[in-house]
Amino acid sequence: MTDVRDLLARVSAPEGSGRPIHDAATGEVIGNAPESGVDVLDDAVARARAAQPAWEALGHDRRIEYLLAAADAVDAHAEELARLLSREQGKPLNGPNARFEVGACSAWLRSSASVALEPQVLVNDGDTRAELHYRAVGVVGAIGPWNWPLMIGIWQLAPALRMGDTVVVKPSEYTPLSVLALIDVLNEVLPEDVLLAVSGGRDVGARLASHPDIDKVMFTGSTATGRRIIESSAGNLARLTLELGGNDAGIVLPGTDATAIAQDLFWGAFINTGQTCAALKRLYVHDSVYDDVVEALAEVARTTPMGNGLDEENVLGPLQNKQQFDIVNRLVEDAKSRGARIVTGGSPARELGELFYPITLVADIEDDAPLVEEEQFGPALPIIRYTDVEDAIQKANRLDVGLGGSVWANSRDEARAVASRIQAGTVWINSHGGLHPLVPFGGVKSSGYGLEFGVEGLKAVAVPQVING
């Protein structure tokens, strides 16, 4: 294990250069991110292109060994990575946060190494034998987000490496240092130029999406940026996997035990202080249990500590950046102006720091309020009362998003019947947002397309080939 300062020194720009990166909780400068241009990106893509044939030629067994060694390297540096992530992104060390995220990195590396992808025999009738194989797509461009920068980065790069692709990573401008540190750790064991990272501005991301030598683009982020990536990739016909905005709906059915679901409901909405694509962002609750659910959530909110992520007691942190803070503040102020009831929170927690916003439960709000219709991506949850389940399903489906959804009920059979009618890539029952490395994940409608994880995730970073004869 190295010291966090040693890890930072390995990835930061030289003194006097680069762009300062601030601690999300305190505002202190923690390091300087390299600010590379498109010339550096072009060089990285060329190097990845040159390294790709030899990497693919190693075969699955040898690449699996490298992925397992990479997982061991992450484990060896887990605490330094978690502490850097906590400072840069803002999420606390404990709870489902920084240490959890770093642990997920090694878990997903191991899962990508363990998944079997065997040739599929399509026809074997004595006259014809046809098999479906999957081979490397080539060079993958991975454009990551700032909310789960390490974990989502691994989701993109691990299956690509497993399939014989080389990868060029472009970190978010908000959280570059922790991603560069992760790539540095992985490259302790990986062959040269198989995995490269280029830290820079939007011009670098745009060039990566449109680069003629990029065969596949993986992007997690906003729908607006996803649309621009689609346009940029038209020239090179790069394959795409896009995990875009959510605004996930949850429906609590009549008679549900509010106390039994309160903790899972709370973390479904407020994991990473609400800064999660597949977090619960609008909650429809039947009138018969509405007051009970609101109060049960309020009790959890009142007893869940928020503050500096390096404090071992805290499990909720700040918003990562001022732009997101301003969005949350604007939407809550609008809800107040419309007469919605603020149950907890409702105004910035300046006593904790500039980017802290408390858990804000907003009750008695109309379904057409901006806090419901826009993805808040932060610690504010609108709770909408309904009396007819059909109406709740219609409201859950009315927006042009479909990443995730959830149904909450005492009866799983009743919940499944409703879940089958929710327009979302994943619908959870009595939970929200939980992911498994072997269970495919992806969105519908404007929440993107393509699948990640498991066998389907491996196929997504490969090209099919039929061998006939």
Active centre residues (catalytic): 243
Q: Which residues pair with 141 in a beta bridge?
A: 168, 217
Is residue 189 a contact partner of residue 212, using CB atoms and an 8 Å limit? Answer: no
Taking residue 248's Cβ as centre, other Cβ atoms within 10 Å add up to 33
Q: How far apart are the C-alpha atoms of 181 and 75, rounded to whole Å?
A: 13
Residue 231 makes CB contacts below 8 A (sequence gap 6+) with: none
Q: What angle do CA 145, 194, 61 make, to 5 degrees?
A: 110
For residue 233, count CB atoms less than 10 angstroms from its CB and return exposed for 0-12, middle for 13-18, buried for 19 or more: buried
Q: Which residues pair with 404 in a beta bridge?
A: 426
Q: How far apart are the C-alpha atoms of 281 and 262, rounded to whole Å?
A: 15
Residue 278 makes CB contacts below 8 A (sequence gap 6+) with: 246, 248, 403, 404, 426, 432, 433, 435, 441
The interaxial angle of helices 149-162 and 60-76, nearest 10 deg, is 160
DSSP state for residue 36 in the 8-state scheme: B
Mapped onto helix, strand or coil, the DSSP state of residue 251 is: strand
Q: How far apart are the C-alpha atoms of 255 and 311, rounded to whole Å?
A: 39
The interaxial angle of helices 149-162 and 98-114, nearest 10 deg, is 10
Is residue 131 a contact partner of residue 122, using CB atoms and an 8 Å limit? Answer: yes
- Measuring CA to CA, which residue among 423, 421, 419 is closest to residue 443? 423
Mapped onto helix, strand or coil, the DSSP state of residue 94 is: coil
DSSP state for residue 274 in the 8-state scheme: G
Q: Which residue is it, tokens 């690509």? A: 160
Residue 383 makes CB contacts below 8 A (sequence gap 6+) with: 283, 285, 290, 293, 294, 297, 361, 362, 363, 365
Q: How far apart are the C-alpha atoms of 314 and 64, rounded to whole Å?
A: 37
Length of the chain: 469
